[in-house]
Amino acid sequence: MALRFSRAIYIISIILKPTVILLGIFTKYLTKKMSDGSENSDKVTEEDLKTIVDVGEEQGVINNEESEIINNVFDFGGSFASDIMTPRTNMEAIAIDSTKEELDKFLIECKHSRIPVYGESIDNIVGVLHMKDIVTFIAEGREPILKDMLRQTYYAYENMNIIDLFQSMKKMNVSLAIVVDEYGGTEGLVSIEDIIEELVGDIYDEYDPADEKVYKVSDNEFIVDASMHINDFNDYFDKNLKEVKNDSVGGLVIDYLNRLPKTGDVVKVDDVTLICEKVERYKINLLRVKFDSES
């Protein structure tokens, strides 16, 4: 895991290198703008910087991917833990009192290297299990007992700014944070990888097949994972859907329905038709998305 993140950070440093070149090229532009003699001549706004990036992209100084990363930096400070977390219903977690057979089965199917462990319920996270610790126990000939392998849980509130969260996680040397609401209940979890992906986009590994949230049916029809973030949906399909209350596409459908969803429900937003393809226990799992032909 450490090697994986170090590789990701190295890639980020390479990707962001053009930013330095871009700022150098436009130094004269900024100097002139800041010395035009007006009262606010010493202030450079976020919009000024975004304009510089746009001009740099238009002139070929930076490419589209680099421009997107730079713009993500501007949006980075406005995101919160709740915006990037894996919701509790999608968390992989295991009970502290699991039998050896249950633990073995869980580990075979598990796709993550750090797993929350809960007590009476998912709202009572008692620790975090690291796959590395399991390997160590087995290598030393010890019986892997959950309560003996747990590491301390790091908690974060759902409205915590992700810059503050990132700095705090680095300081505490943890890679996983359990996100809680105002009542102390578990809302979800955030990993360091989730935060990095806010800047550079999705980082795929052997357990993350590319575009796993989108399946193409035809040029104007797709099956979409309802947990897909609205911003990711907009980026992928070049649309401009707006959040209402929830930030996932499935949540958007519920916002428009204003009731519990059922299979077959249809919501029309601009030129996008969202159809509930699979609903289980009032949770939308899959959406069939259709776009108007002229779009």
Note the pLDDT tens digit of each residue in 105-116: 988 888 888 999
Task: Evaluate whether 271 touches 290 at the Cβ level (below 8 Å).
Answer: no
Q: What confidence score (pLDDT) does residue 4 get?
A: 52
Q: Where is average pLDDT lowest: 28-37, 144-153, 180-189?
A: 28-37
Q: For position 199, what pLDDT does the model report?
A: 74
- Whether the Cβ atoms of residue 250 and residue 284 lie closer than 8 Å to each other: yes
pTM over 0.85: no
Give residue 23's pLDDT. Answer: 54
pLDDT given for residue 205 in this prediction: 58
Give the mean pLDDT of the chain: 80
pLDDT digits (tens, 9 = 90+) for 75-114: 666 788 888 888 888 899 999 998 888 888 988 888 888 9
- Rounded Cα distance between 163 and 167, Å, is 6
Does 7 have pLDDT greater than 80?
no
SS in 3 state form for 138-199? HHCCCCCCHHHHCECCCEEECCCEHHHHHHHHHHHCCCEEEEECCCCCEEEEEEHHHHHHHH
DSSP secondary structure letters along the chain:
-HHHHHHHHHHHHHHTHHHHHHHHHTHHHHHHHHTSSSTTTT---HHHHHHHHHHHHHTTSS-HHHHHHHHHHHHHTT-BHHHHPEEGGG---EETT--HHHHHHHHHH---SEEEEESSSTT-EEEEEEHHHHHHHHHTT----HHHH-B---EEETT-BHHHHHHHHHHHT-SEEEEE-TTS-EEEEEEHHHHHHHHH-----TTS-TTTTEEEEETTEEEEETTSBHHHHHHHHT-----SS-SBHHHHHHHHHTS---TT-EEEETTEEEEEEEEETTEEEEEEEEE-TT-
Distance CA 166, CA 162 (A): 6
State mean pLDDT over 169-198.
90
Residue 194 and residue 85 in contact, taking contact as beta carbons nearer than 8 Å: yes
Q: Tokens at residue 74, please?
A: 């501007």
Say how far apart CA 178 and CA 36 lie, in whole Å. Answer: 49
Residue bearing tokens 């977690």? 93
8 Å CB contact between 179 and 162: no
Residue 72 has pLDDT above 70, yes or no: no
Whether pLDDT at 16 is above 70: no
Averaged pLDDT for residues 174-201: 88
pLDDT in tens, 272-286: 999 999 998 888 999
Mean pLDDT along residues 44-64: 69
Task: Check pLDDT > 60 for residue 5.
Answer: no
pLDDT at residue number 232:
84
Supply the pLDDT for residue 125. Answer: 94
> What would the two tokens of residue 165 be?
């969260």
Residue 125 near residue 228 (C-beta atoms within 8 A): no
Query: What would the pLDDT profile of 114-142 be if each residue is shown by its tens digit?
Result: 999 999 999 999 999 998 888 888 888 88
Q: Residue 194: is its pLDDT beyond 70?
A: yes
Tell whether the model's pLDDT for residue 239 goes beyond 70. Answer: yes
